Amino acid sequence: MTLNKPSVIVTRKLPEAVETRMMELFDVRLNADDTPFDREALGNALASCDVLVPTLTDTLDGDLLSASGISARLISNFGNGTDHIDVVAAQTAGIAVTNTPDVLTEDTADMAMALIVAVPRRLVEGARIIKEDRFTGWSPTHMLGRRMSGKRLGIIGMGRIGFAVAKRARGFGMTAHYHNRHRLLPEIEQEVEATYWESLDQMLARMDVISIHCPHTPATFHLLSERRLKLLKEDAYIVNVARGEIVDEDALIRMLETGALAGAALDVFEHEPAVNPKLLALDNVTLLPHMGSATIEGRVAMGEKVIINIKAFVDGHRPPDRVLPS
């Protein structure tokens, strides 16, 4: 595909610097008011552009991608995860898919580490007490949390983000453990002194904190099922900055309500953007609105990747971040 100025449709509002550069390079239609596209709008966009730039809020399933009249030849996703895109259907329809890997590693790892500290130390609970004017003074047993040093951190998915979390955890005196589809090379394990567990079940039963960093795929849906959640110690904590669907949220809530689990920190939710009211009623959870990668630097870097992928594709080259069916 070789075009001087391809037509590009962007489904959500992007950082100003990214949109400005897109306007210079492409015949671009932006989303100034940031209203999410509904299914009809996505179908119309696919039928009227060369390149679609969606985000994780846009579900591009097989029915949509196999419809007649599609003119888009590239889906340049603004984001790393592509579980909202049927990549197989896109390939069948002759549409290439790209993403924006690597640029959000440090930002997401920072947020994960912040949550790993926040829940055991009850930071949000403490802030709420101040805000609600319920602080009556210090006492030896007031707001007791858990020390980080010496605790075992179990990482599910030791990719770039999981590894970056392990590096941060060492600074807090935690020991890193991980479960992966494939074991890391010994020299990589040694860099963070990480222990590999072939059995996820065995790792879960022995950890103080579980941090989730695997992608959402059919194989990882409810990876932390009710059965697996029950393997955790009563004084353990769960942190999820990956995808909400990886955890059986209803089972998690029941365990948090009954004290079968000490606490949880969630930046993502199973039915996002809906948040289960039962979670909101709990004191032993920290809830964030999917902001794990939300830094100015990260979003601009994502936009730069999108632009590079589009430029490479329209110039007839293989985009550097091509996503192929797994």
* Active centre residues (catalytic): 243, 272, 290
Query: ∠ CA 32-56-312 to the nearest 5 degrees?
Result: 80
